Each structure stands twice: as C-alpha cells, then as structure tokens.
Amino acid sequence: MESNMFNSTPPPATPPPPKETVREVHHHHYEKRGGFWRLVVGLFVIFVGLSLLAQNTGWLGSIDVWGIVSRLWPLFIIIGGLSLLSRGGWVGGAITIIAVIVIVGLVFAAFVTAPAGEVKTQNFDISKGQGVKVAEVTLNHGAGGVHVQGGSASLVSGNLESTFATLETSSQVDGEIQYIDLEMDSNFRGIYRKNPNELTVDLSNDVPIRLNIDSGASDLRIDLSSVNVTDFNLDTGASSLDLILGDKATSSRVAVDAGASSINITIPRTLGAKLVVDGGLSSRNFQDFRSVGEGKYESENYASAQKKVEINIDAGVSSLNIGWK
C-alpha cells in the first residue's frame, strides 16, 4: 500500500497561456502616405498667395492673378486623383509622372506661349431716355486699359478693342434717373500683356452723372474735365490712375479704393478741395494743401471757393500726386 503511494505519477502541469502577439503601429508610416502630394498642394497654395501679394504690391503689372487662378482650380481635382494613383505601385507612379508632364505642358502653353488673338472691336451707343435728368453709369472691367472722357453725342458711347473679351450693356430708366451698366464678359486665354483689352467710354457733357468703376489691374485714364460728374467711385487693384477733374458740378465727391497703385489727380483751380487719405502711401505730393488733422487736408482756396470737391482715397503701398490746372 505504501509502494503504490510513492510510485504514483504526479498530475501534468497546466501549460502557460499562449503569448499574445502585440503589433506595434508606427503612426509615421501612415503619415507618410500622400505626404508628397500634401507637399505639392501646400506649395501650390503658397505660390498662389505669393502671386496675389505680388499683384497687390504692383510687381506683376497688369496680370490678373485671380483670373488665372479661377481657371486653374481643376488642378486640385487632378492632384487628388494623382495622390490616389501614387499608392498603386509602379503603374500608378508611371501614370502620375505622365500626368504631371502633361499638366505642366498645358499650363505653360495656356499662360506663357499662347499667341495673341485677333483684336475685335465692339461699339456701343446708349441714348438718353425721355425725362431723364440724372444718369448713373456702372462699369465692370477686368485687366487692361480704360479710357473715360466727355464729348459723347449720346448719353454714353464708346468701344471695346479686345482679343478675348466682349461687353454687355444694359440701360434702364427709373423716373428721372437712367441706370447704365457696362459689364465685361471675358474668356481669357493667355497673359494680358499679349492680349490687348482696351475700353473707351465717352460720356455726355450735359447730363449730371454718377460714375462707378470696378476694375482689376488696369491702366486707367479718366478725363472728367468736360463732364458734369457729381459722384465718382473707383474700386481697383494694382493700377495706374490718371484722373482729371472738372468744375461743372457745384459739389462733387470722389472715392478711390485701390491696391498698390500710382495715382495722379489733377484739379481745376476753380475748385476748393478736401482730401481724406487712409492707407500706407509710399510717397505723397500734395500741392497747395494744408493738413487739418490726421490724414485730412484742405486746399488753400477751400474756404473761399464757390465749388468744392471731397476726395477720399484708401490705397495700399502707392504713390499719390495731386496737382492743379
């Protein structure tokens, strides 16, 4: 009985539970996916921002960056597709390289080497409506040249000479006021320096006019010396402005909101002028004006003048010259 007790086999030991395999996840592995195309998108956005900044400071002259960007937005869709292809092995990589070459070629051809198109002339002539005593003329223009002057036999007339744009005109009489809109419809194909876009607007000398101009980067020559303009409002980008005022209106107002621009204003001696300037002007030359407060000036003859004009200017880094005739 004792022998059986000592010779008994001990029960087998319980095996340890299997070790659980722990897989270490490296987050940087996932962060690298698509990193190249994130870099491309980031660089593209920075490039667009720098281009807009260069336009607002006048470095790009008459090139309308917004107009170019508005036609390049499909590139974001293409970049998204290429980002997906880049994960598909060597086939996706090869397609990506070919697509990039094609994109670069198309952009280069569209915005750099595009030949100048044929210049077409579009004339317009708008007569004064019955019973009209005041006209409000609104002009929306892209990049290029704008020349406004008096001497029209009609209320408003003129022409557009352009290789890529057309002009839509509308006129509506409401009581004693006639509203005239001149809207440019452009189909841009190339750099504006290679494609002329010149608009000439002739205004009546007899009817009081409120003139509004919304323009891109332009060369603006506005001669109102013979026009009865009571209000003149200009909103423009990086432009060159030569403005000659007249003295037909007893009281008139001028408002200029501009980017980086060169602004030259000529005032007849018969007017007394008040000037309000807001903006970081790089240079200013005000002849026969005295300061009456921060950013406010009055001409020497302001108190005694029978006719007056108030000029408000909000501009970026610009040069402002005001002289007399």
- Tell whether 192 and 173 lie within a shared domain: yes
Among candidate residues 86, 111, 136, the one where a domain is terminated: 111
- Tell whether 89 and 192 lie within a shared domain: no
Contacts by residues 82-88 (CB-CB < 8 Å, ≥ 24 positions apart): 82/37, 83/34, 83/37, 86/34, 86/36, 86/37, 87/33, 87/34
Asked if residue 289 lies in contact with residue 233, where contact means CB atoms within 8 angstroms, the answer is no
- Tell whether 303 and 276 lie within a shared domain: yes
Q: How far is CA 258 from the centre of its chain?
A: 11
In the chain, the number of structural domains is 2
Which is more confident, 293 or 171? 171
Rg (CA), the chain: 34
Domain that holds residue 154: 120-324
- Tell whether 130 and 74 lie within a shared domain: no
| DSSP label at residue 53 | H
Q: Give the pLDDT band of residue 191 (cuts 50, 70, 90).
A: very low
Q: How far is CA 50 from CA 252, 296, 298, 307, 311, in A?
A: 38, 33, 38, 45, 32
Q: Is the pTM of this model over 0.85?
A: no
- Tell whether 187 and 283 lie within a shared domain: yes
- Tell whether 103 and 229 lie within a shared domain: no
Examine residue 16 and state whether it is found in any structural domain, yes or no.
no
Examine residue 17 and state whether it is found in any structural domain, yes or no.
no
- Tell whether 253 and 290 lie within a shared domain: yes
Task: Give the count of beta carbons closer than 10 Å to the beta carbon of residue 229.
Answer: 24
- Tell whether 230 and 288 lie within a shared domain: yes
Least confident of 33-37, 104-108, 143-147: 33-37
- Tell whether 99 and 236 lie within a shared domain: no
Tokens of residue 220, six digits: 């603006």
- Tell whether 314 and 228 lie within a shared domain: yes
Among candidate residues 111, 133, 163, the one where a domain is terminated: 111
Examine residue 13 and state whether it is found in any structural domain, yes or no.
no
Examine residue 50 and state whether it is found in any structural domain, yes or no.
yes
pLDDT, position 106 = 66
- Tell whether 64 and 150 lie within a shared domain: no
Among candidate residues 111, 143, 160, the one where a domain is terminated: 111
- Tell whether 301 and 228 lie within a shared domain: yes
pLDDT at residue 221 tops 70: yes
Examine residue 14 and state whether it is found in any structural domain, yes or no.
no
Examine residue 135 and state whether it is found in any structural domain, yes or no.
yes
Residues 6+ apart with CB under 8 A from 136: 177, 178, 179, 180, 209, 210, 212
Which is more confident, 237 or 16? 237
Examine residue 68 and state whether it is found in any structural domain, yes or no.
yes
pLDDT, position 89 = 61
pLDDT, position 216 = 79
pLDDT, position 192 = 43
Examine residue 4 and state whether it is found in any structural domain, yes or no.
no
pLDDT at residue 51 tops 70: no
Which is more confident, 99 or 138? 138
Average pLDDT over the chain, rounded to an integer: 79
Q: Give the pLDDT band of residue 29 (cuts 50, 70, 90).
A: very low
pLDDT in tens, 112-145: 555 556 889 999 999 999 999 999 999 998 778 9
